A and B are shown apart, each in its own frame.
With several copies, the nearest count.
Chain A
Amino acid sequence: MSAENTQPDLEDLNVIVSGQGGDGSLTVVNLLASVLRQNGMSVYTERDVLSRIKGGITAATLRAFSGERFTIGNHIDLLVAFDIDAVPKNRRQLNKNSIVLYDNSGGSLPDGILGDEIRAFGAPLSRQAVKTFRRDIYKNSISFGLIGRILGLPDDTMRVSFESRFKRMGPQIMKYNLDALTVGLGLADELGFVAGKGLYRIQEIERKPHMLITGNEAMAFGFSVAGGRFYAGYPITPSTDVMDWLIKWSPKFGGVVRQAEDELSAINMAIGSALTGTRTMVATCGPGLSLMQEGIGQLGMGEIPLVIVDAQRGGPSTGMPTKPEQSDLNLLVFGGHGDFPRIVLAPGNPEDCFYLTVDACNLSQRYQCPVFIASDQALSQNTATIDPLDLERVVIDQGKRLDADDVSKLDTYKRYLFTEDGVSPYTIPGTPDGMSLVTGNEHDEFGLVSTDPVNRVRMVDKRQMKMKTMLPELPRAGRFGDLESKIGIIGIGMTFGVILEALDTLADRGIDAQYFQPRTLWPMLDETIEFINGCDVVYVVDLNAEGQLAGLFVREGADASRIRKLLHYDGTPIRSDAVVEFVVNDQTQALGAEEVA
Chain B
Amino acid sequence: MTKTFTPARPIWCAGCGDFGVQQALENAMKNLGIEPHETVVVAGIGCSGSLQNNVRCYGYHALHGRVLPTVTGAKLANTDLTVIGVGGDGDGYAIGGGHLMHTLKRNPSVTYIVMNNGTYGLTKGQASPTSPNGYGENIEEDLDPILLGMSIPGSTFLARGYTGQPAQLLELTTAALEHAENGRGFAFLEVLSPCVTYNDTYREWRTDVYDVEQDPDYDASDKVAAFTRLMALRDQGRLPIGLLYRGERPALEEAALNHDFPPLALQDIDPSKLMDKYQQALESFMR
Contact = CB atoms under 8 A, between A and B. Distances in A.
Direct A–B touching, Cβ under 8 Å: yes
Contact of B45 (A295, A318, A411): A318
Given A54-B197, A268-B73, A276-B78, A262 B123 contact: no
Contact of B121 (A53, A221, A408): A53
Interface in B5-22: 5-6, 8, 11-14
Contacts of B61: 302, 318, 437-441
Given A229-B267, A435-B36, A268 B63 contact: yes
A276 B264 contact: yes
Interface in A396-452: 396, 407-408, 410-415, 428-441, 446-449
Please provide the 3 A-B residue pairs with the shortest distance between their CB atoms, ordered closest to farther. Answer: A272-B73, A227-B269, A254-B261
Interface string A306-318: 0000000000011
Interface string B180-198: 0000000000000000010
B275 to A, nearest CB: 7
A54 B16 CA distance: 11
B127 interface: yes
A538 to B, nearest CB: 35
A54 B198 CA distance: 12
B112 to A, nearest CB: 13
A230 B277 contact: no
A277 interface: yes
Contact of A437 (B59, B121, B260, B267): B59
B58 A436 contact: yes
Interface stretch (B93-101, B145-153, B169-177, B213-221): B93-101
B271 interface: yes
Given A261-B98, A317-B63, A437-B59, A431 B37 contact: yes
B69 interface: yes
Contacts of B47: 52-53
B99 A279 contact: no
Interface in A211-260: 211-213, 217, 221, 224-227, 229-230, 232, 234-237, 240, 247, 249, 251-260
A209 B123 contact: no
A167 B281 CA distance: 21
B80 A430 contact: yes
A329 interface: no
Interface stretch (A387-395, A464-472, A546-554): A387-395
Contacts of A226: 269, 271
Nearest to B8: A448
A56 B8 CA distance: 13
Q: Which of B52, B62, B126, B262 gathers most chain A CB within 10 Å?
A: B62
Interface residues of B, number: 85
Interface in B242-261: 256-258, 260-261
A213 B285 contact: yes
A429 B70 contact: no
Contacts of B81: 276, 429-430
Given A225-B271, A435-B36, A272 B279 contact: no
B264 A256 contact: yes
Nearest to B261: A254
Contacts of A253: 274, 277-278
A415 B257 CA distance: 30
A187 B42 CA distance: 50
A576 B52 CA distance: 39
19 contacts: A52-B122, A225-B271, A229-B264, A252-B277, A254-B262, A255-B264, A256-B264, A268-B69, A271-B66, A272-B69, A273-B265, A298-B63, A413-B3, A429-B81, A430-B80, A430-B266, A437-B5, A439-B59, A441-B61
Nearest to B93: A261
A60 interface: no
A275 B60 contact: yes
A412 B2 contact: yes
B129 interface: yes
Given A249-B281, A276-B77, A269 B70 contact: yes
Contacts of B78: 276-278, 428-430
A276 B70 contact: no
Given A221-B282, A429-B38, A56 B277 contact: no
B139 to A, nearest CB: 10
Contact of B2 (A237, A262, A433): A433
B57 interface: yes
B60 A438 contact: yes
Contacts of A268: 62-63, 66, 69-70, 73
B11 A247 contact: no
Nearest to A410: B2
A210 interface: yes
Contact of A435 (B57, B122, B281): B57
Given A429-B40, A436-B5, A260 B275 contact: no
B53 interface: yes
Interface in A159-211: 209-211
Contact of B59 (A257, A412, A447): A447
